[in-house]
Amino acid sequence: MYVCSFGGSFFSHPFWRKRFTLTSQAEVDRLRNCAIPYVEIDDELGVGPIDEVEPDADAEPYIVHRIGENRDKRPGRRFIPGSRLITRADRVQHARAVRTVSRAKSVVTQLFDSARLGKAVPVAEALSLVREIDGMFDRGENMLLDVIRMKTADEYTYLHSVAVCALMIKLARHLGMPETETRECGLAGLLHDVGKMRIPAQVLHKQGALTDDEFERVKSHAQEGFLMLQNVSDLPAAAADVARLHHEKIDGSGYPLGLAGEDIPMIARMGAICDVYDALTSNRSYKTASSPAEALAIMYASTGHFDRELLQAFALSIDGAVPAQAQSMADCPDQETIVTSPALPA
């Protein structure tokens, strides 16, 4: 079977190419288990599904998109024995995730523009978006983060905030927090970088190395965000705390206050984890994205940066498992760092 392309993120499947021939059942099985919304195949370049095999009576309707003239010669529903790829329900879920991300980008743009111009922050709009994202996870829909991960460099500032919102919600749900607190976590994640609206664009988006003065200016976004949010009516105080404290580190080496350990509020410790994870797994102008497993390994290797118990819970919340290399570091937290990691995002 010749695969022409996949839907969804590059990180949603284990193959390093998007155009190739499946040559074994093992490869078909790997494809079956991918979180991809659809796959395109070309019957002219490879053998397609076998027509004679009928599906089980209780089989879900699965979608395959064919390209080329053979598409018109094979009308009706198609079933691929042994390699059923995606249900119609999953296709609908993916479309809903795309719509939510589009709306989220608009809402965050409005939030940040209002804050930058000193206007009233539309808290109701932000809460509505948080409820929508929480509702998706409540229904077991998990494609949102895959869609967000496809963000371009130009979209990073806004969709990074949406990603941190979603990751905060997933972590809070995993920790068993009540609905109100879970949504406060999501709202705090959505607004955690609002202070960057006070940083000159030429500094914030500079592709080369920052000067010491420029780096200090970028770091000021934490305090700027706190000042922008602390007196916003109807906004939980935790949102302002996360804006100011999401760059604090467990060992006290963070900023702006140099807090350590439990002096850092739990929600800010959660925010630090979600912020760095999305930064590591995002493509930027100056780096390629790390895989989720690589990002977690880097974070586990960063001794003194994160709350270890919360980091363990975070790994379980997003993947249901901790990567083996990260697990070895969790079991032996005092061992030497065994991963050569790039500098974590500031």
Q: Give the model's pLDDT for residue 19.
A: 66
The torsion defined by the Cα of 13, 17, 18 and 20, in degrees rounded to 10, comes to: -110
Domain 89-331, CATH 3.40.50.150 — does that match? no
Q: Where in the chain is the domain with CATH 1.10.3210.10?
A: 89-331
Q: Give the contacts of 257 (CB within 8 A, at least 6 positions apart).
A: 244, 245, 248
Distance, in Å, from the CA atom of 334 to the CA atom of 312, rounded to the nearest integer, reads 16
Residue 217 token pair: 């200016």
Q: Give the contacts of 241 (CB within 8 A, at least 6 positions apart).
A: 188, 226, 265, 267, 268
State phi, psi for 248 to the nearest 5 degrees.
-75, 150
Residue 65 token pair: 């998109």
Distance, in Å, from the CA atom of 53 to the CA atom of 66, rounded to the nearest integer, reads 18
- Each of the 346 residues of the chain gets a pLDDT tens digit; together they read 677 666 655 555 555 555 667 777 777 766 666 666 666 776 566 555 444 444 444 444 444 444 444 444 444 333 333 334 556 777 888 889 999 999 999 999 999 999 888 888 899 999 999 999 999 998 888 888 888 887 777 788 889 999 999 999 999 999 999 999 999 999 999 999 999 999 998 998 888 889 999 999 999 999 999 999 999 989 999 999 999 999 999 999 999 999 999 999 999 999 999 999 999 999 877 788 898 989 999 999 998 999 999 999 999 998 765 555 555 554 554 443 333 334 455 5
In the chain, the largest separation of any two C-alpha atoms, in whole Å, equals 70
Q: Give the contacts of 260 (CB within 8 A, at least 6 positions apart).
A: 248, 249, 250, 251, 252
Neighbours of 282 (CB within 10 A): 24
Distance, in Å, from the CA atom of 298 to the CA atom of 343, rounded to the nearest integer, reads 10
